[in-house]
Amino acid sequence: MSYERKYAEALSRVIGDELTLDQIEALIEKPKHEAHGDLAFPCFQLAKAYRKAPVMIATDIAGELNDELFTKVEAAGPYVNVFLSRDVVSQEIINTVLDESADYATHATRNETIVTDFSSPNIAKPFSMGHLRSTVIGNAINQIARKNGYDVVGINHLGDWGTQFGKLMVAYKKWGDEEAVRANPIAELLKLYVHFHEEVKTQPELEDEGRAWFKKLEDGNEEATELWTWFRDESLKEFQKVYDLLGVEFDSFNGEAFYNDKMDRIVAMLEEKQLLVESEGAMVVSLDDENLPPCLIKKKDGATLYATRDLAAAVYRHETYNFVQANYVVGGEQALHFKQLFSVLRKLGYDFVDGMHHVPFGLILQEGKKMSTRKGRIVLLEEVLKEAIEKAQANIAQKNPELANADDVARMVGVGAVIFHDLKNERINNIEFDLDSMLKFEGETGPYVQYTNARANSLLRKGNYDGSTFAGADDDHTWGVVTMLNAFPHVITRAHERREPSIISRYVLDLAQAFNKYYGHVRVLEEDAGKQSRLALVKAVTIVLTEGLRLIGVQAPEEM
């Protein structure tokens, strides 16, 4: 139970019926200055009922309040300030963490489902930096939602359909080489795609060929289907390597193609509601009334579009998962698409759209410029991750050459550094990509938090921590750690409500910092009667750091 709640209970015994327990709790604040106490209750709201000035009320209440939880109660103007007993509170909090272990701050199940659409790269194209962001943000959002008691479903809405596949087939049939594609699928397919666009400049008829092949694919032509399946399988194999490195899993890989046979129904509904209008030969839903450009449903040639497939996907997902919330973790560039999607769903009468959210994020920049896959400047994510791991390896070899399972640790640190860097600032910000600074052991990095946790674990080993509970302490350094540990449940809720993993990243940085201060001032391993109790605090810190990192998809080695 929160200390706000406990304070509210104590107040309620004095105040009586004028305010409910919840009302009292909602009024409780933190005093502006720490020296004025830990919690403050403003008395303004009681003035009318008591027919007294708030300052007088505060004095009266302060005189009557007593509870072993408070070491001091003070009226400060219209406020009643209390000082919590650090001895009592530190025991309660640390022992709760130890008792509940990784379950600390876990919300009981709600039996409600949240669906998150994330990663969703495009077949036969490289896994871009934007897809990396979507992957790590989406994964964190899912873990955080699960911690908050929801059932979660992670969907990889693969971009595996569209006219580009017709073009790719033409390119492959004209210039492709099976062996080369097998050896290096994505790079090779991308090359073919780029080549196609060069040739089109002088041979515009290639466009028609591409369209014809896509039509064949849509009509279920055998050769076209075989090629498409092959491109898709090879691409997925490569994407899977990245997911394995990142430790990210999905519940469904139903991509755009999956909705091919589910769009007629949407089109029929739109027609029935008289929402479809013709515009330059195409079929669109007008969104003039919402000041949005029309949503394109069918092209002149009858081909469906990205938006049509997303409409079908939304309806399918609601019917399949009955979600209370559906998130789309997709770059800010697609903001308009999602506005249109949600508007059309609303016009169709679907209330579930209230639970749908576009969760946008900023770009990854390199020296201030967008990292691009165009013009052959391909940044292959797998290579980036491998480089991060190699750098971590070199770091470890230098700092701790004796380390057992050094390769595993290097993977956790290298990959963790990339993920943490992505999640450490609010997702909407652009981020600068710089491997060297991400991998630093000091500053706001993943390795800094991991290293703090590893050091805490090594204290437990050196001190032979025996599982003791915490006996209480009232010094500032202990208190700094205790208030951080106490904040974790609230942090979990806020990160979920805002769909903002950086709230957790910031939190683990702050906790690591509070712990390093503690460690710098308190002699944890001193052989005295308090040693095992201090180690209990250290243990609680490792539990929460490890769990916090897990929620953002970062592993925490016990030694590094």
Cβ(537)–Cβ(94) under 8 Å? Answer: yes
> CA 319 → CA 76, 324, 348, distances in Å?
57, 12, 15
Q: How far is the CB of 345 from ligand ARG (least distance, A)?
A: 13
CB of 279 to ligand ARG, least distance (A): 22
Nearest approach, Cβ of residue 140 and ligand ARG (Å)? 17
Contact 318, 353 (CB under 8 A): no
Binding ligand ARG by CB under 6 A: which of 122, 143, 163, 453? 122
Rg, Å, the chain Cα set: 29
Ranges within 422-451 binding ligand ARG (CB under 6 A): none
- Judged by beta carbon, residue 159 or residue 553, the one nearer ligand ARG is 159
Question: Residue 4's closest CA among 23, 163, 526, 33?
Answer: 23
Tokens of 310: 């997303």
> Nearest approach, Cβ of 164 to ligand ARG (angstroms)?
11
CA dist., res. 323 & res. 112, Å (int) = 7
Specify the stretch interacting with ligand ARG by CB under 6 A; choose among 17-25, 46-54, 120-128, 192-200: 120-128
Determine how many CB atoms are found less than 10 A away from the CB of residue 52: 15
Evaluate whether 548 touches 445 at the Cβ level (below 8 Å): no
Contacts of 305 (CB under 8 A, 6+ apart): 296, 297, 298, 299
Q: Which is nearer to ligand ARG, 117 or 547 (CB)?
A: 117
Of 50 and 306, the one with the shorter C-beta distance to ligand ARG is 306
Supply the DSSP symbol for 109: P
Nearer to ligand ARG, 132 or 503 (CB): 132
Closer residue to ligand ARG, CB minimum distance, 119 or 395: 119
Among residues 452, 507, 449, the alpha carbon closest in space to that of 483 is found at 507
CA angle 368, 374, 377 (to 5 degrees): 70
Residue 328 in contact with ligand ARG, rule: CB under 6 A: yes
Q: Which residue is nearest to ligand ARG (CB)?
A: 159
Shortest distance in whole angstroms from residue 121 CB to ligand ARG: 6
Q: How far is the CB of 379 from ligand ARG (least distance, A)?
A: 15
Please give the Cα distance from 397 to 399 (Å, whole number): 6
What are the beta bridge partners of residue 79? 42, 76
Only one of the segments 119-127, 234-242, 349-357, 451-459 lies at the binding site for ligand ARG (rule: CB under 6 A); that segment is 119-127
> Residues 263, 299: contact at Cβ < 8 Å?
no
Spell out the residues 6+ positions from residue 216 whose beta carbon is closer than 8 angstroms to its own.
166, 223, 224
Identify the bridge partners of residue 42 per DSSP, sorted by sequence position.
79
Q: Could you give the C-alpha distances from 494 to 95, 128, 237, 489, in angstroms and in order?
A: 24, 29, 36, 9
Contact region with ligand ARG (CB under 6 A), list: 91-99, 116-124, 465-473, 478-486: 116-124
**Cross-strand pairs, 337:** none
How many positions of this chain bind ligand ARG (CB under 6 A)? 10
Residue 328 or 433 with smaller CB distance to ligand ARG: 328
| Cβ pair 221, 271 in contact under 8 A | no
Residue with Cβ nearer ligand ARG (313 or 535):
313
Residue 275, token pair as written in the block? 């929402």
Out of 120, 340, 450, 478, point to the residue binding ligand ARG (CB under 6 A): 120
Nearer to ligand ARG, 312 or 503 (CB): 312
The single-letter DSSP state of residue 267 is H
Q: Which residues contact 10 (CB under 8 A, 6 or more apart)?
A: 65, 67, 69, 70
Question: In the complex with ligand ARG, which residue's Cβ is closer, 129 or 413?
Answer: 129
CA dist 362 and 486 (Å) reads 31
User: Least Å distance between CB 250 and ligand ARG?
Assistant: 13
For residue 246, the minimal CB distance to ligand ARG (Å) is: 17
Find how far residue 440's CA is from the centre of its chain.
Answer: 23
Rounded to a whole number of angstroms, the minimum distance from the CB of residue 280 to ligand ARG is 24
Return the number of the residue (84 or 341) whose C-beta is nearest ligand ARG. 341
Interface with ligand ARG in residues 481-540 (CB under 6 A): none
Smallest distance, Å, CB 141 to ligand ARG? 14
Can you tell me which residue has the tokens 């969104």?
Answer: 287
Instruction: Please identify, among the stretches 97-105, 113-121, 403-411, 413-421, the one whose residues bind ligand ARG according to the rule CB under 6 A.
Output: 113-121
Binding marks (x or -) toward ligand ARG, 229..268, rule CB under 6 A? ----------------------------------------
Report the residue number, 37 or 159, with the smaller CB distance to ligand ARG: 159
Binning the chain into helix, strand and coil, the percentages to the nearest 5 are 60, 10, 30
* CB nearer ligand ARG, residue 92 or residue 310: 310
Query: Least distance in Å: CB of 325 to ligand ARG?
Result: 15
Query: How is residue 420 written in tokens?
Result: 């943490």
Least gap, CB of 307 to ligand ARG (angstroms): 9
Out of 117, 188, 238, 422, name the contact with ligand ARG by CB under 6 A.
117
Contact 478, 85 (CB under 8 A): no
Contacts (CB under 6 A) with ligand ARG, residues 266-305 = none
Cβ atoms of 348 and 297 closer than 8 Å: no
- 259 or 488, CB closer to ligand ARG? 259
Contacts of 249 (CB under 8 A, 6+ apart): 154, 243
Site for ligand ARG in 130-169 (CB under 6 A): 157, 159
Of 257 and 473, CB closest to ligand ARG: 257
Binder to ligand ARG among 74, 92, 310, 500 (CB under 6 A)? Answer: 310
Task: Quote the least distance from Cβ 220 to ligand ARG, whole Å.
Answer: 23
Tokens of 354: 């209230």
Q: Which residues bind ligand ARG (CB under 6 A)?
A: 117, 120-122, 157, 159, 310, 313, 328, 330
